[in-house]
Each structure stands twice: as structure tokens, then as C-alpha cells.
């Protein structure tokens, strides 16, 4: 948002030939919503529509639907509902929110038990056209979802088909999933699809990692320059169920990484490999 959604954000998307965009609709590190300017919303929405750019909104990092504090859970739900409504005003397809943390060791089951009612209530009030996408985290701090199995357990606890998932490759790596080869990436993504259903995967954050597998550290790196490595990302393009899932890069090197993914896509398309996603994107702050 810095500098303006259209004047700066969409200019970058155009400069790097992005095919989808992810934005923040408010300061991601504050509870206070940013001011709304309807004319700017309309210009952004209409411009993205004219360009055929799918839009996703990332919710505040402060939201924690698994908090042991009822006050924090309710405040989080209210802010998430606000973000879903803002996303609708901006013409976005979905809102990405971190899965959250139980905070207290041993409290994960209790935290999961609160999700069905909490998320169900807020979605009953949210715009129907905006999808809620839960993003499993890197696994630190009593995470509610980080691994493939943990993500499946999270969705089972939510038990609401309106909820989808945003997968982050850096987070999967940090949680200990083996995705540092093309075969490993393909196998892990296939396991995820089989565990939760292909229809639940609404977005993929494609990020390399500065740290080793299982580190539980969320530090993004330029694609191919980190511990996941360049070959692994070929695996994303060989899972047929992910064929139409948009990709967003959240690295310091948007242009380089969008070009990298497009080159992989072109290479695999040339040999008629299945699973070529239709949208690859860019402008986003690491989450």
C-alpha cells in the first residue's frame, strides 16, 4: 500500500508483468484500520478488473484466532471480518490469514476446538464472494497448523467448506516437510491435496528459505538462492491438482522471482508437462 494502491502497487505489477497481486488493506502490524478512500478503492478494483489481475488481501499479522484470551479471539475475528469486507470493496478473491497459535504449550487441542464457532460466525457476516484462506505458519510458538498433517487437522476442526488454504513453501520447509527437491515438493504437495482436497488450495506463496528444514524460522529468500533450492520449485508445476492455483512471491526480489517461475512454467509447457498454473505474481511484503 505504501505510496498508493494504484500509483505504486499496480505500477510495480505492470513493470514486472505480474499476473496476480497480493496487498495489505491496512497496516499489518496495527489493530487500527487504515482510512478508507472509496474513490481509490474503485479505481484499484476497476483497474485490476480491466487488466484481468486477480487480487488477494493479506490480513494483519496480529490476528490470532487460537489465542487463550477470549478478548483477543473476539478482537481478531472482528478485525478479520473488517478485512474480508475491505477485500470485497477492493474486488479481491480472497483474504489470507495466519492459522494462529495456541500460545500456551499443550493447549493446541483446546484452541482448535474454538475455531468452528468463531470462524463460522464471522463468515456468516462476511461477503460471500471473498474466500477466507488459512495460511499454515512456520511451526514456531505453539503453531496451530504448519505441517501437512497439522493443516488437515486444522481444517477438520474448522469444519466449514467456505474455508480454504494458502500454502507457503518457506513455511512448509521450516516446519520440517521435505520439499528441497522436485520430487519432495511434488510428493508433499500431493499429500496436502489428498489430505484436504484440491478445492481447498486457493493460493500458494512461493518463497525460498534462508534456514534449514525444520528450523521453524520464517525468513524468505530469493527463489533458488536459499535452502529449498532452484530444482525444488519445478515440483510445483508437476501436480495436476494445482494447475489453476495462483502463485505469489513474497521475496525481496519480485521481478527476478516472477521471471524465474515463468521460465520454469515455459520449460515444462514445452515438454507438455501437466499442472501449469495460470497466474504468477509479485507485490507483497513477506508474511
Is 197 part of a structural domain of the chain? yes
Counting beta carbons within 10 angstroms of the beta carbon of residue 269, is it exposed (0 to 12), middle (13 to 18) or buried (19 or more)?
exposed
Count of the separate structural domains present in the chain = 1
Is 80 part of a structural domain of the chain? yes
C-alpha cell at 96: 489470507
Q: Is the pLDDT of residue 285 over 50?
A: no
CATH code, 129: 3.20.20.150
Q: Could you tell me where the DSSP H helices lie in the chain? A: 11-15, 38-51, 70-89, 108-113, 115-125, 148-158, 169-175, 182-196, 254-270
Radius of gyration of the chain from Cα atoms? 18
Confidence of residue 279 (pLDDT cuts 50, 70, 90): low
Average pLDDT over residues 78-94: 97
Beta strands 201-205 and 247-248, pairing class: parallel
Concatenating the DSSP letter of every residue in 174-212 gives HHT---SSHHHHHHHHHHHHHHH-GGGEEEEE--EESS-
Is 26 part of a structural domain of the chain? yes
What are the respective helix, strand and coil percentages of the chain, to the nearest 5? 45, 15, 40
Write down the residue that cell numbers 512454467 correspond to.
265
Is 287 part of a structural domain of the chain? no
Q: Is the pLDDT of residue 93 over 50?
A: yes
Average pLDDT over residues 251-271: 92
Is 190 part of a structural domain of the chain? yes
Average pLDDT over residues 74-84: 98
Q: pLDDT tens across 99-109, in order?
A: 999 999 999 99
- The three-state secondary structure class of 220 is strand
The DSSP letter of residue 106 is: T
All residues at 6 or more sequence positions from 241 whose CB lies less than 8 Å from its CB, including other chains: 190, 193, 198, 201, 275
* Dist CA 48 CA 89 (whole Å): 12
Q: Which domain holds residue 170?
A: 5-281
How much is the pLDDT for 177? 98
Q: pLDDT tens across 18-77, in order?
A: 999 999 999 999 999 988 999 999 999 999 999 999 999 999 999 999 999 999 999 999
Average pLDDT over residues 67-93: 98
- 66 in Cβ contact with 112 (< 8 Å): yes
Confidence of residue 276 (pLDDT cuts 50, 70, 90): low
Q: Is the pLDDT of residue 165 over 70?
A: yes
Q: Is the pLDDT of residue 205 over 90?
A: yes
Counting beta carbons within 10 angstroms of the beta carbon of residue 160, is it exposed (0 to 12), middle (13 to 18) or buried (19 or more)?
middle
Mean pLDDT rounded to a whole number for the chain: 93
How much is the pLDDT for 286? 38
How much is the pLDDT for 166? 98
Q: What kind and span of H or E run contains 97?
A: strand 94-98
How much is the pLDDT for 273? 45
How much is the pLDDT for 284? 47
Is 196 part of a structural domain of the chain? yes
Q: How far is CA 208 from CA 218, 224, 257, 260, in A?
A: 10, 7, 10, 12
- Where is pLDDT greater, at 81 or 280? 81
Average pLDDT over residues 200-209: 98
Amino acid at each position: 500500500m505504501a505510496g498508493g494502491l494504484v500509483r505504486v502497487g499496480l505500477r510495480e505489477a505492470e513493470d514486472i508483468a505480474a499476473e496476480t497481486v497480493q496487498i495489505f488493506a491496512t497496516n499489518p502490524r496495527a489493530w487500527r484500520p487504515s482510512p478508507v478512500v472509496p474513490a481509490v478503492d474503485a479505481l484499484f478494483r476497476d483497474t485490476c478488473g480491466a487488466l484481468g489481475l486477480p487480487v488477494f488481501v493479506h490480513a494483519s499479522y496480529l490476528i490470532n484466532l487460537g489465542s487463550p484470551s477470549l478478548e483477543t479471539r473476539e478482537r481478531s475475528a472482528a478485525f478479520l471480518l473488517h478485512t474480508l469486507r475491505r477485500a470485497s470493496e477492493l474486488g479481491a478473491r480472497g483474504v489470507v490469514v495466519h492459522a494462529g497459535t495456541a500460545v500456551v504449550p499443550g493447549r493446541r487441542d483446546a484452541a482448535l476446538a474454538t475455531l468452528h464457532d468463531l470462524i463460522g460466525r464471522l463468515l456468516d457476516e462476511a461477503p460471500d464472494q471473498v474466500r477466507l484462506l488459512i495460511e499454515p505458519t512456520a511451526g514456531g510458538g505453539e503453531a496451530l497448523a504448519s505441517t501437512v498433517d497439522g493443516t488437515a487437522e486444522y481444517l477438520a476442526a474448522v469444519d466449514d467448506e467456505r474455508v480454504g488454504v494458502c500454502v507457503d513453501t518457506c513455511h512448509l520447509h521450516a516446519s520440517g516437510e521435505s520439499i528441497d527437491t522436485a520430487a519432495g515438493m511434488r510428493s508433499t504437495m500431493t499429500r496436502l491435496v489428498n489430505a484436504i482436497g484440491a478445492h481447498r488450495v486457493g493460493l500458494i506463496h512461493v518463497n525460498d528459505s534462508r534456514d534449514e528444514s525444520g528450523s521453524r524460522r520464517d525468513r524468505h529468500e530469493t527463489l533458488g538462492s536459499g535452502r529449498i533450492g532452484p530444482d525444488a520449485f519445478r515440483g510445483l508445476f508437476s501436480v495436476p491438482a494445482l494447475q489453476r492455483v495462483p502463485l505469489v512471491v513474497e521475496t525481496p526480489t519480485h521481478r527476478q522471482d516472477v521471471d524465474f517461475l515463468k521460465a520454469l512454467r515455459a520449460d515444462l509447457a514445452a515438454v507438455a508437462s501437466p499442472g501449469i498454473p495460470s497466474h504468477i505474481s509479485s507485490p507483497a511484503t513477506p508474511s
